[in-house]
Structure 1
Amino acid sequence: MAEYEAFILDLKMAIDMNVYELLVIGDSDLLIHQVQRESVIKNPRITPYVQLIQQLCKRFRKIEFRHTPKMQNDLENALATNASMIKHPDTNYIDSLDIEVKKRHVHCSHVEVEPDGLPWYFDIKKYLETGTYPENETFNQRKSIRRRAHNFFSSGEILYMRTLDLGLLKCVDVIDVVKLLE
């Protein structure tokens, strides 16, 4: 969310400076694709940020987005460092966003059983335990399982997913989900 808030501030500053054409260079491929409607927004808390960014983008005659990998983005890092040292004279410059969180998320209203009857995390757990893949998996599917498996930790029969703050979330199947929702 911090990246989205920083981007909103950058756009507002460009608008205040009467910039009509803008080249946005960023290292967040996801942010760029979501703003350009090329990627689905999975986190409902991000939606208001993306909608505000899309509204602000309409204020420019021309706006172009360019993704640059983090390692090659020395210009953005230097600008971000400089920007963090400058205090804007108007302390109320950054408008706060009011985000309403629903009591019950849409994804909690309906739970589907996987077509094969196995839990959603079965392939990852099998890979962590045995190093094998499901039959008939393509190279890209195997690569995806390997990449995703780095974020999981198996302890006996229980599979946990690591969070960014190094916490662990227990992976549950559809039966456990139904019990939890009840």
Structure 2
Amino acid sequence: KDQKLISYQELAASLLRQFEEYQLLHVKREFNPIEDGLASLGSTIAFKPGESIRSFEVGRLEQPYFVIPEQVLQAESRETPWYQNIKDFLQTGTLPPAMSRKEQKVLRHMSSSYFILTDILYRRGFNTEYARCLDANEALEVIQEAHEGICGGHVGYQTLVKQIVRAGYYWPTMQRDCHQFVKKCIKCQLHAPSIHALAAYLHSSQLTMAILHVGLRRGWTNQSTCLKWTQ
């Protein structure tokens, strides 16, 4: 409703895209008296009987939060990268004991397409080009930068995949991850071409309605008031 909140909405949407799953909950005003008082900054805070009153400090920002330079926080990934078994095999020559013989054979054959350079795993391409293998966090950063970064053009997911491949990056789920990221982009959804929209509004014709109302029987021309009969 308020134009001042649009920038905050875009900032919140950009932060939500960094999570694979999230849930938004609406807390009613009567269950959130402290935060409601901070938001209004002047309204009386209503406390329930028996509730202890807590002291809080109110700060003042010199500029809106959405124009403050973003602080990039590198979160530690607890998930094992998809290429960990390949990298371990190339470094030590060992295979996971939990794998079956068939899976070990597939892993051994797959490892021939990869090599390690300065402790970074690369994948050989069909035209002798090398692509750096990325984990989930690195892939998300590359997608975000290619799609909506300084040189990002908010392109479709297929073009986005091609741009990332030409930049020299690879991970197995590139198609799916790019597709999901573009679907969550608010600007792409708002400004996308309406290819399924009608060229003009549909309106019923008086002739069609007259025929449907009277029917294709004898004497329908005499019953219709919007037609003239000529011989």
TM-score norm. by structure 1 comes to 0.36
More strand by share: 1
Structure with the larger RCO, 1 or 2 (CA within 8 Å, 6+ apart)? 1
TM-score norm. by structure 2 comes to 0.29
